[in-house]
Structure 1
Amino acid sequence: MAETSLPLRHFGDIRYALLQRQEIALVDVREEASYADGHPLFAVNIPLSKLEIEILNRIPRLSTPVTLYDNGEGLAQVAARRLIALGYGNVALLAGGLQGWREAGGELFIDVNSPSKAFGELVESRAHTPSLAAEEVNALLQSGEPVVVLDSRRFDEYQTMSIPGGISVPGAELVLRAKDLAPSPETKIIVNCAGRTRSIIGTQSLVNAGVRNPVYALRNGTIGWTLAGLALEHQQSRRYGEVSETAQLQAARSAREVADRAGVKRIKLADLAALQQQTQRTVYLFDVRDAEEYAAGHLPKARHVPGGQLVQETDHYASVRGATIVLIDDKKARAEMSASWLAQMGWDVAVVDDASRESFTARGDWKPAVPPLSELPEVEPTELAAWLEAGDTQVLDFTTSANYAAGHIPGAAWLQRSLLTLQGDAALPKAERYVVTCGSSLLARYAVEELTALTGKPVTVLKGGNAAWRAAGLPVEQGETRLLQRRDDRYRRPYEGTDNSAAAMQAYLEWEYGLIAQLDRDGTHGFNVLTLHA
């Protein structure tokens, strides 16, 4: 499909919508590694290869103005056709793609979650968030003075590497849990993440909420700790415990005051029901409690996103800039503090005021909305093993490259669905029959029709996916044994894992330091940082 056969939106159209706070979804359909090489500030990454399993949750209103782009690969046109087939009625291409944005004078940001990271730098600059260098924190820990280190990342990130003695307290939990973890106001509180953003936001949350303890961000997080030549711990499991009633009430009161100052709205459950029924505005409903609380009971249609991650990865969950975000938390403080940050980031945000455990009638994990598929042929794992033994079947694995390398069906080839768009059947190993799989086979199902048309061969879904194969006790192999393309489905973050080079970590920090200047050049952010004396 030629670009001219679809409506175009220009750089000026997008910029105007952002400045006017109109709803806009600017979607980069390339893989994450390419997206991280450069994209507009408020562009969100929804790769063509995962479009069907993400789009209805990230852009839930079908009349939202959606603008798609790539960098000349031809992926955006295919994505547009798929969105139109799903019922999206206001789909356009970005004129000139990424190059057109650049030529029009648009600023490009690298890495992922750029709006949140740039906002964090702005917060530190304007609020003068207190921080200590790694060497100073290490000296404190060795001194015997009362000090606690609170790690504001996800628990799995904390387990990978942590500051010695650190306790896992993901960002939105900090104000709620700090009093119990540091009951004496003399105890110094150090907040860390892997880099800068969540350390800054977590520390400033405690400052804004009026915590009496001295509070400091660990400057540059575990990156700064590593660059200082200090040793990290690994596979730790220290976590916060139950919150006391006194701490909960005090945190809720303090957090509400902060949210009020930030301009957070308050609604009742009846107001939420009315918001969900209207069709003129995109509304996201997020439950910001921890995973165990959510699974035990939550409001129907509420998506679980811990508050700290929502502030850090807002673009991933609320992919329509200008939409309304509604937060729920029966203990109040987590929703109030998360909402206060989202409001400062330019979002229209509200907290449900009368949410309680009695309202939480749904159980279990959140289930994403996906487009319906007609019934597809399936094969049980044991039968597939027999097919593979016969030698006429090729397994195509559409899982993440990391999962594939960690363990896959012997002989399976790894690819992303976008490869089929770019190269067609020329990219595929020849076989008389293909079996598609991924972790659960959900994503793989959406490749069946395209593969059948490309190859003219029978295409079958592995029932239950790779998880069912393992559960059946069948063998797996590890490593990059049969990659049909480069591993560009995930950008390698310099602040994750334990094997990053010092040069990569330092370069990442230098990039973060420069984000405020980029915000100034871009001019569309709409951020408004709350200061204590504002």
Structure 2
Amino acid sequence: MSTVATRSFHDIRRALLAHEELALIDVREEDPFAQEHPLFAANIPLSKLELDVFARVPRRDTAITLYDDGEGLATLAAARLSALGYSDVALLEGGLAGWRAAGGELFRDVNVPSKAFGELVESERHTPSLAAEQVQALLDAKADVVVLDARRFDEYQTMSIPGGISVPGAELVLRVAELAPNPATQVIVNCAGRTRSIIGTQSLVNAGIPNPVAALRNGTIGWTLAGQQLAHGQQRSFAPVSDTTRASAADRARAVADRAAVARLTREGLAAWQAEPHRTTYLFDVRTPEEFAQGHLPASRSVPGGQLVQETDHVASVRGARIVLVDDDGVRANMSASWLAQMGWQVAVLDGLSTADFSEPGDWQAPLPEQPQVNEIDVDQLHTWLQAPGTVLLDFTTSANYVKRHIPGAHWAIRAQLPQVLEQLPVAERYVLTCGSSLLARFAAVDLQALTHTPVYVLEGGTARWIAAGLPLESGETHLAVARSDRYRRPYEGTDNPREAMQGYLDWEFGLIAQLERDGTHGFHVVR
């Protein structure tokens, strides 16, 4: 690849203020990304670039700017994107250090645009909230109160407020009337920290539900810091709603979307948007994954609405793009769209759909480039090889999956750090690569073979095939070839975080509004 063009901090800032489409991509692993990055940077690690980029940056002539912090990853990423057909790829001038030197604001943590927006909403709308001690007192008194957990169900199961019910954010307006049918019932909305409880609570306020509603101030972090006990493994979830409830909720949601100036599209209008060659249009189905799997609009992606508002940068990685939302009830798409519009996105809801339009069954399948040709072996061959010295097994799954279970003797590795990985490995007669499905391992095999003359093989079907065969497994950090930098440990997940880390996270959230003001590119506006 010839010399890669560069873009400066000022080029990016000008494009953001002009609402032009751009993808500012940090190609480091998630943990270093979370330590500091620009507000609208999207994290697509070099390790998984081929697996993620087609979905997250679908238009091949998008203006893409790549950066790292001096590791040399961005140059490699530029070459890979060029090979994948992306035609407007540049490097950020000076990388992260260049952004800092130019006076650019840097943010910590992940999903920062959404979290900062949540803080702005609370500041401007004075979203009602109750302290953990107040909510505990209501529960102890057996008051007429219902606690709704706005996170994903798996997060809710990990830790939740005793007696709480799992109602992921976009489901709240649709389902609250049947979870709290008495208009006098106090509704409490919680998450682990602040953002989803603020947005969930304000959604109910914006929709004009008759109940008193409040966020659990500081979520499960606040609950823990108050010395109160969390529940684990709860199973309470919502039930189907009646047609009357659905229709009423649809009216409320449509009114909220109209106040936020959400656009409306028909199937024909969507086709026209998608046909425009120089604009990016994302099509997201914001219902539950189970509903999506039963039947969805062809070419749509399943992104439940609450998570979409919480993690917009993770799926819509082109700032300035257009987003079209789909549901089958007029509630979840309109409520989600109302928030995206306030976050500065050009967003529309697809209207006029019938049951017949949801014709495609099954889960969403990520668009992928052609997979490289590699030498494969089956689980029986690997099992035989592992009985004698000489075979070195590398596992490229996420570190969390590796710690949970892996093939005995497997060394955990990060694809983008293969030169460092090789320095930590024993002498090999052959390398065998795996991951959950073998997909990432196939791409890693090409990289590894370029670094060594030792034969490289991929386990057909990956670790999932080994597990299906009933072969032995082990767990723990048994053989880490590099540090676990692939995932940032959120201070609000789990229950074993130090109190100082939890309080530090809350203090950081409180400071986001000041950071937004210093940055000046956010384009957020909060509708009254």
Partner of 1:459: 456
Are 1:496 and 2:493 counterparts? yes
Partner of 1:229: 227
Task: Please give the residue correspondences for 1:88-127 in structure 2 after superposition, counting only pairs within 5 Å.
Answer: 88-127=86-125
Deviation at 1:270, TM superposition (A): 1.6
Deviation at 1:483, TM superposition (A): 0.7
Partner of 1:402: 400
Q: Is 2:421–2:482's contact at 8 Å kept on the other side of the alignment?
A: no
Deviation at 1:355, TM superposition (A): 2.3
The TM-score normalised by the length of structure 1 is 0.97
Look up the SS of the partner of 1:446 in the other structure: helix
Aligned pair partner of 2:157 in 156, 159, 176: 159
Deviation at 1:356, TM superposition (A): 3.0
How far apart, in 1, do the equivalents of 2:204 and 2:508 lie? Answer: 26
Aligned pair partner of 1:433 in 416, 430, 433: 430
The residue type equivalent to 2:359 in the other structure is T
What CA deviation, in whole Å up to 9, does each residue of 1:295-351 have, x standing for no partner? 000011111010000000000000000000000000110000000000000000000
Partner of 1:323: 321
The residue type equivalent to 2:476 in the other structure is G
How far apart, in 2, do the equivalents of 1:207 and 1:357 lie? Answer: 30
Look up the SS of the partner of 1:351 in the other structure: strand
What CA deviation, in whole Å up to 9, does each residue of 1:395-442 have, x standing for no partner? 11000111111111111111111112x547435432111111101111
Partner of 1:475: 472
How far apart, in 2, do the equivalents of 1:519 and 1:54 lie? Answer: 28
Partner of 1:514: 511
The residue type equivalent to 1:150 in the other structure is L
Distance of aligned partners of 1:429 and 1:85 in 2 relative to their CA distance in 1, 3 Å threshold: farther
Partner of 2:246: 248
Aligned pair partner of 1:352 in 350, 353, 360: 350
Q: Is 1:424–1:454's contact at 8 Å kept on the other side of the alignment?
A: no
User: Gaps spanning 5+ residues in structure 1: where?
Assistant: none
Q: Is 2:36–2:106's contact at 8 Å kept on the other side of the alignment?
A: yes
Q: Is 2:197–2:216's contact at 8 Å kept on the other side of the alignment?
A: yes
Q: Is 2:23–2:65's contact at 8 Å kept on the other side of the alignment?
A: yes
Task: Give RMSD over aligned pairs.
Answer: 1.1
Deviation at 1:354, TM superposition (A): 1.5
Task: Please give the residue correspondences for 1:42-441 in structure 2 after superposition, counting only pairs within 5 Å.
Answer: 42-420=40-418, 423=420, 425-441=422-438
Q: Is 2:170–2:336's contact at 8 Å kept on the other side of the alignment?
A: yes
My pick for the range that moved more, 406-415 or 520-529, is 406-415
The TM-score normalised by the length of structure 2 is 0.99
How far apart, in 2, do the equivalents of 1:488 and 1:376 lie? Answer: 27
User: Gaps spanning 5+ residues in structure 2: where?
Assistant: none
Distance of aligned partners of 1:228 and 1:425 in 2 relative to their CA distance in 1, 3 Å threshold: closer
My pick for the range that moved more, 259-268 or 454-463, is 454-463
My pick for the range that moved more, 139-148 or 339-348, is 139-148
The residue type equivalent to 2:276 in the other structure is Q
Q: Is 1:189–1:214's contact at 8 Å kept on the other side of the alignment?
A: yes
Deviation at 1:392, TM superposition (A): 2.1
How far apart, in 2, do the equivalents of 1:461 and 1:321 lie? Answer: 37
Q: Is 2:372–2:443's contact at 8 Å kept on the other side of the alignment?
A: no
The residue type equivalent to 2:468 in the other structure is A
The residue type equivalent to 1:88 in the other structure is Y
Aligned residues with identical type, % of pairs: 66
Look up the SS of the partner of 2:382 in the other structure: helix
My pick for the range that moved more, 369-378 or 58-67, is 369-378
Aligned pair partner of 2:446 in 446, 449, 458: 449
Q: Is 1:419–1:427's contact at 8 Å kept on the other side of the alignment?
A: no
